[in-house]
Chains A and B, each alone.
Chain A
Amino acid sequence: NAGVTQTPKFRILKIGQSMTLQCAQDMNHNYMYWYRQDPGMGLKLIYYSVGAGITDKGEVPNGYNVSRSTTEDFPLRLELAAPSQTSVYFCASSDRSGGDLWAFFGQGTRLTVV
């Protein structure tokens, strides 16, 4: 059981480049989240989804886009990368239908924009 899988684990981007961070979960969870964590800081919610076809903005959505075409996948798109987007990105999922609100996390993607 893989849980939440994120790819890539590491990436270096040049300013202005674009990329997609992949996230997949095999637990049939309805909720999925994208967070970023800057050094010494807490996790900040970028976007979340309560089910396929439904996405909503979190606390820090600017510069990012998401889609949720399937229950399993929740990719995060960075357009025109900026140094301020250097961070560790975590994808998470939770099974709200079961009444549980806690989330499983992927191993993270470390992104550096230079």
Chain B
Amino acid sequence: RKEVEQDPGPFNVPEGATVAFNCTYSNSASQSFFWYRQDCRKEPKLLMSVYSSGNEDGRFTAQLNRASQYISLLIRDSKLSDSATYLCVVPELTGAGSYQLTFGKGTKLSVIP
């Protein structure tokens, strides 16, 4: 069974801080990866996708290290509104040729005033 592992946290950081989360995956064949954000009692929403070495979107940077099989999410200048759980997601090809999305358990971030 393929695994996606994340540090559960919680990460408690002050506003304006930089915080980074790591995610390790066991399926070396995976080619694309995603970070989702999930607010309390809400559905997960796509935050960023990572198809090659990395991706940057404003204060958010996702990086991929294929050799070590991990992806990271860096959040700069943290805002109170960044408080959420961040889910690492790895699409995996099944034997039938279809894809399943495997989710990590998530890393909880609390940004403190």
Chain A bound to chain B: yes
Please name the residue on chain A nearest to B1 by beta carbon. Answer: A59
Q: Is B112 an interface residue (CB 8 A)?
A: no
CA distance A90 to B45 in the complex (A): 12
- Per-position binary interface string of chain B over residues 1-25, scored 1 when its CB falls under 8 Å from any chain A CB and 0 otherwise: 1001000000000000000000000
In this complex, how many residues of chain B approach chain A with their Cβ under 8 Å: the count is 24
CA distance A38 to B49 in the complex (A): 25
A sample of 23 cross-chain residue pairs with beta-carbon separation below 8 angstroms, ordered by A number, consists of A31-B99, A33-B101, A40-B105, A42-B4, A42-B87, A42-B106, A43-B44, A43-B103, A45-B101, A45-B102, A48-B100, A56-B94, A56-B98, A58-B100, A59-B1, A96-B99, A101-B91, A101-B99, A102-B34, A102-B49, A102-B89, A104-B46, A107-B42
Instruction: Give the A-binding residues of B (Cβ under 8 A).
Output: 1, 4, 32, 34, 42-46, 49, 87, 89, 91, 94, 96, 98-106
CB < 8 Å: which of B32, B49, B98, B103 contacts A42?
A: B103
- Chain A's interface size range is 20 to 34
Q: Is A74 an interface residue (CB 8 A)?
A: no
Contacts A41-B105, A42-B103 given; indicate if A48 touches B45 (C-beta within 8 A). Answer: no
Residues of A18-63 whose CB lies within 8 A of B: 31, 33, 35, 40-43, 45, 48, 50, 56, 58-59
Are B98 and A50 closer than 8 Å at their CB atoms? yes
A-side contacts of B32, CB under 8 Å: 101
- Per-position binary interface string of chain A over residues 6-22, scored 1 when its CB falls under 8 Å from any chain B CB and 0 otherwise: 00000000000000000
A68 to chain B, nearest CB (A): 13
Please name the residue on chain B nearest to A30 by beta carbon. Answer: B98
Are B98 and A48 closer than 8 Å at their CB atoms? yes
Are B43 and A90 closer than 8 Å at their CB atoms? yes
B-side contacts of A96, CB under 8 Å: 98-99
Q: Is A103 an interface residue (CB 8 A)?
A: yes
Please name the residue on chain A nearest to B89 by beta carbon. Answer: A102
A-side contacts of B42, CB under 8 Å: 107-108
